[in-house]
Amino acid sequence: MAATTADAGTAYRPSAAKRAQLWLANHFAMISAILVLLYLFLPVAYTFAFSFNDHGKTNIVWQGFTWEHWQDPCGVAGACESLVVSLQVGAISTVIATVLGTLMALAMVRYRFRGKAASNVLIFVPMATPEIVMGAALLTIFVQGFSNVGISLGFGTIVFAHIMFCLSFVVVTVKARIQSLDPRIEEAAQDLYASPMQTFWKVTFPLILPGILGAAMLAFSLSFDDFIITNFVSGNESTFPKFVYVASRRGIPAEANVIGFSMFVLAVLLVVGAQVVSSARASRTKE
């Protein structure tokens, strides 16, 4: 009887090829995720590596290792100046778009008004419109309309354009957060004699704050990264993406790689920090 059982176990033992197929099937999702991440972060790795390149006129072919570019990121004329402009534009447009977008999201979710359905549809139009179309349209508006009141293309028109296309992303992000809230929480606060303003600041606002912060981070990244619309409406003003585009014609300088990788690391730290804070708040709530 024991010999028969042993023979059966030997007969049904899968072959090496079969075991390999089973292992691949069980780990296919993980392998795919790793390959996708490698594909996504390959340009970042290239940027980091070539920030140490001891290049000559162009930063295309590896010439040697040096710390010089990290010691002086502003060594190339216009690099840090354009970075400051991008940061200023991003900060101003993010604050305005976040405030307006949050108010619009609250109105669309919490109130009924004529044209609400049309507003929900129209809010997606700037997101679906190609940037080259929006940039050309804004350029026409600024040239034909703003020139009559003495406003020329420059810093102000960049901020105006960035607010316009960031607004939709803020509304959609905050709106999704508000819709996930249980309205009975606000009703309970009002039952406890809280005024509408107290209900908003002590109940609603803390609950939607993660969505607002996420929308603000998204708006800032879109503003800082934008080139197509900015190139149409910037005039002689230079942002960091515009500086990189102009510099790419003769080879992106390593200092631009230093600044770009530093911004990437900063963005990662902000996301990780937000996740840590969110996890800490969730653990305190469970306790």
Same domain? 58 vs 164: no
Structure tokens at 98: 């976040």
CA-based angle 197:199:203, to the nearest 5?
130
Same domain? 96 vs 228: yes
Question: What was the pLDDT predicted at 162?
Answer: 92
181 belongs to a structural domain = yes
Same domain? 133 vs 95: yes
Q: Which residue has the higher pLDDT, 246 or 166?
A: 166
Structure tokens at 13: 């033992």
- In this prediction, residues 261-279 reach a mean pLDDT of 82
The answer to whether residue 153 scores a pLDDT higher than 70 is yes
Same domain? 67 vs 123: no
Q: Render pLDDT for 211-238 as a digit per residue (tens, 0 to 9).
A: 898 899 999 989 998 889 998 988 888 8
- In this prediction, residues 238-256 reach a mean pLDDT of 82
Question: What was the pLDDT predicted at 111?
Answer: 82
Q: Render pLDDT for 99-132 as a digit per residue (tens, 0 to 9).
A: 999 999 988 888 888 877 888 888 888 888 888 8
Same domain? 233 vs 267: no
Long-range CB contacts (within 8 A, 24+) of 40-49: 44/261, 44/264, 47/257, 47/260, 47/261, 47/264, 48/257, 48/261
CA-based angle 227:39:73, to the nearest 5?
50
φ, ψ for residue 116, nearest 5 deg: -65, -45
91 belongs to a structural domain = yes
Question: What was the pLDDT predicted at 286?
Answer: 66
Same domain? 219 vs 87: yes
Share of the chain above pLDDT 90, in %: 18
- In this prediction, residues 143-155 reach a mean pLDDT of 75
Same domain? 163 vs 71: no
Assign 170 a pLDDT band (cuts: 50, 70, 90).
very high
Question: What was the pLDDT predicted at 237?
Answer: 87
How many Å apart are CA 264 and CA 270, to the nearest integer?
10
| DSSP three-state, residue 287 | coil
Distances in Å between the Cα of 47 and the Cα atoms of 32, 60, 87 are 24, 11, 20
Strand partners, 53: 65
How many Å apart are CA 147 and CA 50, to the nearest integer?
43
9 belongs to a structural domain = no
135 belongs to a structural domain = yes
Assign 186 a pLDDT band (cuts: 50, 70, 90).
confident
Quickly tell me which residue has 């099937």 as its tokens.
Answer: 25
CA dihedral sign of residues 51, 54, 56, 62: negative
Q: Which of 94, 103, 92, 72 is nearest to 214 (CA)?
A: 94
Question: What was the pLDDT predicted at 101?
Answer: 93
Number of structural domains the chain divides into:
2
Containing structural domain, residue 32:
16-76+253-287
Assign 44 a pLDDT band (cuts: 50, 70, 90).
confident
Same domain? 86 vs 47: no
Is 0.85 topped by the overall pTM? no
Same domain? 166 vs 275: no
- Residue 173 belongs to a domain with what CATH number? 1.10.3720.10
56 belongs to a structural domain = yes
Phi-psi region of 251 (alpha: psi -120 to 50; beta: other; left: phi over 0): left
For residues 215 and 168, the answer to whether their CB atoms sit within 8 Å is no
Same domain? 194 vs 123: yes
Q: Render pLDDT for 57-101 as a digit per residue (tens, 0 to 9).
A: 677 777 788 888 888 888 777 788 888 999 999 999 999 999 999
φ, ψ for residue 52, nearest 5 deg: -105, 10
The answer to whether residue 5 scores a pLDDT higher than 70 is no
Same domain? 91 vs 188: yes
Question: What was the pLDDT predicted at 187?
Answer: 79
210 belongs to a structural domain = yes
2 belongs to a structural domain = no
Same domain? 107 vs 209: yes
Question: What was the pLDDT predicted at 138?
Answer: 87
33 belongs to a structural domain = yes
Alpha helices in 51-78 (DSSP H): 68-71
Strand partners, 65: 53
